[in-house]
Structure 1
Amino acid sequence: MTMHVHNITVDATDALGLATFWSRLLGWHVFHDDDPEVVVAPHFPYAGTGMLFIPVPEGKTAKNRLHVDVAPDDETRDEAVARAEGLGARVLADHRRDDGTGWVVMADPEGNEFCVERGPHEKGPLPPQTWRLG
């Protein structure tokens, strides 16, 4: 038996506002109606894995126990970080190294942490059977 991840759920004080940030960051579609919950997903019609934003009255109070790592498809990691900042994110920790490796820990407009890694085009080819993170 197997399962798949349907949604990654995020509590938000402004579900539509936070979903809009993530849709612009990822280039995904926003799905919502009169329901206060909002979904952001890569495909229309919505199928597969998405991010579900649920309104809650309280703000974020502690470090995330789970976070999303994103990697750009058609820009550099540094361009993606700058674009995320332009959308309202902020840098929490910069782990970029002089050799070009590393990642940047960021917070979305409501303080949820996420990391921006290098895209595959920045990493270059991998030797067979090698995994490389960040």
Structure 2
Amino acid sequence: MALSWKLVIDSTNASALANFWALALEYEVEDPSALVEQLLSAGRIGEEAVTEHRGRKVFRGYAAIRHPEDPFDGLSGIGRGRRLLFQDVPEGKTGKNRLHLDVHGEPGGLGELVARLEGLGATRVREVDKGPAGHWWVMRDPEGNEFCAS
């Protein structure tokens, strides 16, 4: 049986990075507000574990996105499919990512894809041309994490 998984990405502002990647991938930002309220009411977490983002109560230092067509838990908002979790960490990024996302656009639409990603806050790093193997851009998200757009 295949295992379930999520990709966890360290960040300095989980909610902002989740917003960027949700727009970039056309995913949905998870809404954990019902679970947060339930845990607060039961005394299982304190107010220090919670913050507000875009009018919703969320867990401080955490935000996740999920594919809009994948199943999710109605109470927690947690996706049960393709999912990215962003978690705030105290240390900053110091080197090249050992794992990164590749974002694929429509055939022939690389220019439009790169422009859209730049409009969301990404920056171009370098163009890669592998001849018959393809052409893509190495880019950085708003926190400097590398990814490829092709």
Higher strand share: 2
Q: Which amino acid aligns with 1:104?
A: W
Aligned to 1:3: 3
| Runs (4+) off by over 6 Å | 97-100
Report whether the alignment pairs 1:35 with 2:34: no
> Taking structure 2 as the reference length, what is the TM-score of the superposition?
0.69
> Aligned ranges for residues 1-134 of structure 1 at < 5 Å?
2-4=2-4, 6-33=5-32, 34-36=58-60, 37-43=62-68, 45=72, 46-73=79-106, 76-96=109-129, 101-117=134-150
Higher helix share: 2
Deviation at 1:93, TM superposition (A): 1.1
Aligned pair in 2 of structure 1 residues 9, 93: CA closer, same or farther (>3 Å)? same
- CA deviation vs aligned residue, 1:104-127 (integer Å, no higher than 9, x gap): 00000000000011xxxxxxxxxx
Tell me how far apart the structure 1 counterparts of residues 26 and 107 of structure 2 sit (CA, whole Å). Answer: 11
Q: Which amino acid aligns with 2:16?
A: G
- CA deviation vs aligned residue, 1:43-63 (integer Å, no higher than 9, x gap): 263221211000112221100
Deviation at 1:19, TM superposition (A): 0.4
Percent identity over paired residues: 40
Equivalenced residue count is: 116
Greater Cα offset, 98-107 or 19-28: 98-107
Structure 2 unaligned regions, length at least 5:
33-57, 73-78
- CA deviation vs aligned residue, 1:40-91 (integer Å, no higher than 9, x gap): 1112632212110001122211000011111024881211111111111101
> Taking structure 1 as the reference length, what is the TM-score of the superposition?
0.76
> Which fold has the larger relative contact order, with Cα–Cα distance below 8 Å and residues 6 or more apart in sequence?
2
Tell me how far apart the structure 1 counterparts of residues 136 and 17 of structure 2 sit (CA, whole Å). Answer: 22
Select the structure of larger CA radius of gyration.
2
Tell me how far apart the structure 1 counterparts of residues 107 and 28 of structure 2 sit (CA, whole Å). Answer: 18
What is the alpha-carbon root mean square deviation over aligned residues?
Answer: 2.2
